[in-house]
């Protein structure tokens, strides 16, 4: 158990819909990262937050947005969903060393868009 909690574990929805994925980082971790893992693909970095502030953006679509709340949990919002958005979405957290050290991953949220 990494200490990172993601909900929901599975989500099935239709094209055009909007979903929210939630992540609770390890206790005390300030950084939260979101990654997308599509079929046969590696881990694509989407966005990073540190102590409530956006720190870095990767290949995140404009239809996607995220935020980190004062209690440090984070939400990834995916809107106007397309079939190609079907993927595993991972959240990871890291301690007070913002840019080095181990990333602790949750078990992921599997999104299926029909």
For other proteins, the binding residues (CB under 8 A) are: 2, 4, 33, 35, 41-45, 48, 55-56, 58, 90, 92, 99-100, 102-103, 105-108
Residue number with CB closer to other proteins (43 or 79): 43
DSSP labels for the chain?
Answer: --S-EEE-SEEEE-TT--EEEEEEPPTT--EEEEEEE-TT--EEEEEEEETTEEEEE-S--TTEEEEE-TTS-EEEEE-S--GGG-EEEEEEEE-SSSSSS--EE---EEEEE-
Q: How far is the CB of 9 from other proteins (least distance, A)?
A: 10
Q: How far is the CB of 25 from other proteins (least distance, A)?
A: 13
Q: How far is the CB of 80 from other proteins (least distance, A)?
A: 26
């Amino acid at each position: 158990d990494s200490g990172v909690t993601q909900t929901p574990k599975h989500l099935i929805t239709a094209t055009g819909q909007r979903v929210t994925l939630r992540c609770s980082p390890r206790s005390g971790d300030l950084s939260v990262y979101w990654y997308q893992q599509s079929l046969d693909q590696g881990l694509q970095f989407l966005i990073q937050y540190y102590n409530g502030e956006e720190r870095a953006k990767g290949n995140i679509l404009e239809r996607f947005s995220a935020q980190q709340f004062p209690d440090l949990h984070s939400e990834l919002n995916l809107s106007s969903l397309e079939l190609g958005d079907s993927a595993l979405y991972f959240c990871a957290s890291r301690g007070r060393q913002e840019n080095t050290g181990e990333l602790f991953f949750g078990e992921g949220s599997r999104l299926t868009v029909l």
